[in-house]
Structure 1
Amino acid sequence: MILIADSGGTNTMWALIDKNNIEYVKSAGMHPSQLGNGMVFPPALEKHRNYITGLYFYGTGCARQQGREKVKQFLENWFPNTHITVFSDLMALAHAGWGDESGNVAILGTGSSMAYYDGFKLKFEVWSPGKEKDPGSGTDLALQILKLYKDAALPHDISGDLQKILNKKLEQEDENGLLARYIMQNQHNVVLSELCTKQYSSFFEFYDPLLQKYPFPVVFGGSIAYLSSRLLNNVANNYNLKIHLIIQEPIYQLVRFYRNRKV
């Protein structure tokens, strides 16, 4: 019995594989910075805990060794008798979208990043500058529209919508997440379409050193890439870049990846 996890900052999708049976479970996100005593083991997995022989965990914040080690140490408390391997969320896209082939992988979600996958490991020419500075990400889009709002540079209808969102926001709600969701839901609006186009262009320009060295198609993942696929494809075309695939939920392709290997 093996367990696969695909974890973002908000949610973790688990896939428990036992011969021909697959069970999917959703729990809270497990970014290295979020791990702590308050995190609860997914109850649906409890009865299987002692029977899992291998755990393959893919997570945001795990591109660097420090993040991977922190997550692995935490998971070892949950699965003390299980062989655990921790990968970055970009590797999830590599395994899900490219398998053993090579190509570029990129994430546009709450944050953003890009790397080249050589069929075995990831190669980084440019590192993500950090969640609030990741170009083209949901956080980036939210901060950009918030700046336009504060500068009174938005049309009256959009400004009014944002005022309602900000006034109704509960204390525990994520402001950037609410604003990014609004942009995705209204990206047909000319102003918001132009904002997205500008920030997606910034994303490709930021990762131009990698794309110059590895001028290959890209597998994209992340909520922003999926929800804004038409605009993203248009911007990619402007840079003569081919998008090979946009994956909404890598967990399903990861299940196929591991079942093909019969691990």
Structure 2
Amino acid sequence: MLIADSGSTKTDWRYLAADGQVHAFQTDGFNPYYQSTPQIVETLRAQFLPQLGNNAVSRVYYYGTGCINSTVNQHIIDALRAVLPDLQTVDVNSDMLGAARGAAGREPGIVCILGTGSNACCYDGNQITRGIQSLGFWLGDEGSGGYLGKTLVRQFFQEQLPTDLHDAFAARYHLDRATLLENAYQKPYPNRYFASFTPFLSENIAHPHAVGLVTDAFTLFLQTYISRFPEATIWPVHFVGSIASYFAEQLQQALQQAGLTLGRIVKAPAEALIKYHKQA
């Protein structure tokens, strides 16, 4: 059995061997909404197959960003069957469902993704019962790594950062306007590009301005998404993703201010998904 938890930046793979041993490895992330089947196959052949080796796979449970309908999901199915022709089962679902099953297991709860992108849903312990449609990096993704990085860079160029943070950012990145705009509007994956600036916030999180920037972003996420779920007043709110993990203290503060109950924070749900599917 093979489980994939794929975001825009990276894919976490877990291979469950017949003897019960679990083998973990990573590849680049996939988004079938933007990538064609040949592009996905190329990455799988270059990065995935060498790490899988000669291990036989009969079932794949794939959870990924951009897997929003059967037409788009077919890109992933076709790509996996192209590199693993002996597959018996290929089950492709959204990263949101993977986050829900990984964080909440078989219990109901509000489940959120805070990674390179962001999203949220109501989960009944088996399936998503209600969600808010994600509008992606340019129109949404509040609270995400992409959003945090975009906010930080915008404040830098608009001279809204305190002098000490401004100087530290300039010394670290040597970023000019032309390079910024090229990465934002001409190169692929601007969400990954802007998310790459979030380590600066993490390293300077003791600074009041950095704390305020991160907490304000999480508060906006809760107001935009979670406040619209009546269940949020009675169910715990779980989080999955690197941003939720790195900024757990600020996230908890935003939840407390909103009167919400924090559930689990899971950096990556792949391990928990193995448990979920073994119990199926």
> Could you say whether these structures have the same fold, taking a TM-score greater than 0.5 normalized by the shorter chain as the test?
yes
Unaligned runs of 5+ in 1: none
8 A Cα contact 2:16 2:23, kept in partner: yes
- Partner residue of 2:114? 108
- Partner residue of 1:189? 207
Q: Which amino acid aligns with 1:22?
A: V
For residues 71 and 120 of structure 1, what CA distance do their matches in structure 2 show?
23
- Partner residue of 1:38? 42
Cα displacement (A) at 1:213: 4.9
Q: Does 1:235 align with 2:239?
A: no
Change (3 A) 1:183 1:213: same
8 A Cα contact 1:116 1:210, kept in partner: no
Cα displacement (A) at 1:89: 1.4
Between stretches 207-216 and 223-232, larger displacement belongs to 207-216
Write the mapping of 1:6-85 to structure 2, written as runs, cut at 5 A.
6-19=5-18, 20-32=20-32, 33-35=34-36, 36=39, 38-41=42-45, 42=48, 43-48=50-55, 51-82=56-87, 83-85=89-91
Q: Which amino acid aligns with 2:251?
A: L
8 A Cα contact 1:25 1:44, kept in partner: yes
For residues 9 and 206 of structure 1, what CA distance do their matches in structure 2 show?
22
8 A Cα contact 1:125 1:209, kept in partner: no
Q: Which amino acid aligns with 1:206?
A: T
**1:89 pairs with one of 78, 95, 100:** 95
Change (3 A) 1:25 1:125: closer
* RMSD of aligned residue pairs (Cα, Å): 2.2
For residues 169 and 81 of structure 2, what CA distance do their matches in structure 1 show?
43
Q: Does 1:158 align with 2:169?
A: no
Matched pairs, number = 258
- Please give the secondary structure, in 2, of the residue aligned with 1:84: strand
For residues 52 and 207 of structure 1, what CA distance do their matches in structure 2 show?
38
Change (3 A) 1:185 1:65: farther
Cα displacement (A) at 1:175: 4.0
Change (3 A) 1:226 1:198: same
Between stretches 60-69 and 96-105, larger displacement belongs to 60-69
Identity %: 26
For residues 259 and 125 of structure 1, what CA distance do their matches in structure 2 show?
26
8 A Cα contact 2:103 2:240, kept in partner: no
Post-superposition Cα deviations, 1:27-73, rounded to whole Å, max 9, x if no partner, equal 2212212450531332121312xx31110011112244443222222
Post-superposition Cα deviations, 1:122-178, rounded to whole Å, max 9, x if no partner, equal 133421121233111111111112221122111111111221233279989954133
Write the mapping of 1:160-175 to structure 2, written as runs, cut at 5 A.
160-167=167-174, 175=193
- Partner residue of 2:244? 225
For residues 213 and 3 of structure 1, what CA distance do their matches in structure 2 show?
33
8 A Cα contact 2:226 2:232, kept in partner: no
- Please give the secondary structure, in 2, of the residue aligned with 1:153: coil
8 A Cα contact 1:126 1:209, kept in partner: no
Unaligned runs of 5+ in 2: none
- What is the TM-score of this pair, normalised by structure 2? 0.84
Post-superposition Cα deviations, 1:86-109, rounded to whole Å, max 9, x if no partner, equal 111121222122222211110111
For residues 195 and 21 of structure 1, what CA distance do their matches in structure 2 show?
42
- Please give the secondary structure, in 2, of the residue aligned with 1:195: helix
